[in-house]
Structure 1
């Protein structure tokens, strides 16, 4: 099941995580091109600074939204201090609430219920706040479909890096081979559930590794990426935006197939590829994404 074009996160390529108590970094995030800016209240914010981060949330989220970015916040699980996080940040009207370490659908049902209460308290349109579960363990991956179905607010899910590696008991490498199967399995689960799959962040600093990581992600079908290094936002956006050459090829495939169909044929050939109904529809989707992203970039300039 492809991600619906009606999904409000369908065109969001990069989900950029910023330390929740670092006001300078939170404001500087607007200088980059991250599609979704995430105030991170979990691992990137020491427990002692979480009250400070919560106090910043309202102003930061409003500024991000006013600048045309999707404003998001990642809260801690309810088993720790997630209730305090959520109560504080909802006054800032985040468009997306992420929760870390999700393994059970019941976590999402509770989060949905509490968001509904807080939307009413703050005069926010009912149901407008989206939820993005962060899947960080093997158990979360194998339960991904049922987690995705726990709330109509869930339009995307993200798979983790470091916590997933730790849960698997694997070694961490720049090549990331230890995560190939979890990332592939997660993508499959999200496709089956009809939600946007957000790939795990590349957590090393080097540009070459970030490029290789994105090549793998794009080759298996990811259209969105978690990012923790500001220098990697542009890399991810480049791989997740159809290139002009891709759009031109798609146009030729569409034209060839439609011409063949008018002649009573069910396939056409373009550059050695047989274009049938599935590849024709994929070419149409690529063109639509290309045009929508081009239009959005024009508005940001």
Structure 2
């Protein structure tokens, strides 16, 4: 699955075999086996072995990654050795602040790197990070980013929208994917839906999540809706060239290309997830 079609990336603690088994049954697009924050230090040796075994067993054809500990932590090197042994498609590198860190992780693990941008320094350098060979996506680490920017916990996300949009801008400039950070509240579906929609409007391709209960809402938010697809089809069919009036507004070739891209995303996601196929416009 191309990364830009991934809607949901589920973090699963690699120290919890039952959670890994459950992840094989849910409808998320991408599994992240976590060796970092969700695993106690005393459990990391066992978690590394469990992660290797889980990757080798697979997730029913879905892509997966192992999130390793950040550079400077004692488990960083051991985690990279485990990733190289397991050979998942991707490695997720947290707390990236400079391209050299992503370069080293790619070189040692021989895996494509999803770089987590979680600090003011990471934001300042994210365009250079996104251009580093081996980096295929950026992911916002919103909890650490909020703390690093000294933004109060009760402040709205608009307080650091510039930082989030900088991640999207860097990803788009380099042609890599961009993923929004997690939503912490497990019992607020309306808040989750609002944040997913906000992330989609910012330009993120999908969202990282921490609980299976978030999958359905996030999948829906990052999938083109039926009415949006039908409207796009109507626009393409109505276009005759040049600039013209359509449905009370002016459209030109750019708008047609945008509509075709939305239709293409919808159809590719439908095929990927086993839905009924329709011919592309």
Q: Give the TM-score normalised by the residue count of structure 1.
A: 0.86
Match of 1:46 in 2: 40
Choose the corresponding residue for 1:79, options 72, 76, 81: 72
Q: Distance in 2 between matches of 1:90 and 1:108?
A: 15
Displacement of 1:93 in angstroms is 1.7
Which residue of the partner structure matches residue 180 of structure 2? 199
Q: Is the 8 A contact 1:101 1:134 kept in 2?
A: yes
Q: Secondary structure in 1 aligned to 2:256?
A: helix
Return 5+ residue gaps in structure 2 as ranges: 277-281
Show the 5 A alignment for 1:74-223.
74-80=67-73, 81-116=75-110, 129-151=111-133, 153-173=134-154, 175-205=156-186, 206-223=188-205
Is the 8 Å Cα contact of residues 32 and 230 (structure 1) preserved in structure 2?
yes
TM-score when scaled to structure 2?
A: 0.92
For residues 183 and 243 of structure 2, the distance between their equivalents in structure 1, rounded to whole angstroms, comes to 40
1:32 lines up with 2:22 in the alignment: no
Q: Is the 8 A contact 2:116 2:141 kept in 1?
A: yes
Report what 2:263 is aligned to: 287
1:253-300 superposed Cα distances (whole Å, 9 cap, x missing partner):
11112xx12xxxx02333223221211111111111111111111179
Unaligned regions of 5+ residues in structure 1, if any?
1-6, 117-128
| Alpha-carbon separation, structure 1, partners of 2:128 and 2:48 | 30
**Superposed displacement of residue 145, structure 1:** 1.1
**Using the alignment, how far apart are the partners of 1:200 and 1:114 within structure 2?**
26
Matches within 5 A, 1:266-285: 266-285=242-261
Q: Judging changes above 3 Å, is the alpha-carbon distance between structure 1 residues 44 and 291 closer, same or farther for their aligned structure 2 residues?
A: same
Equivalent residue in structure 2 for 1:70, among 56, 63, 66: 63
CA distance in 2, matches of 1:92, 1:296: 25
Distance 1:143 1:241, change over 3 A: same
Match of 2:2 in 1: 8
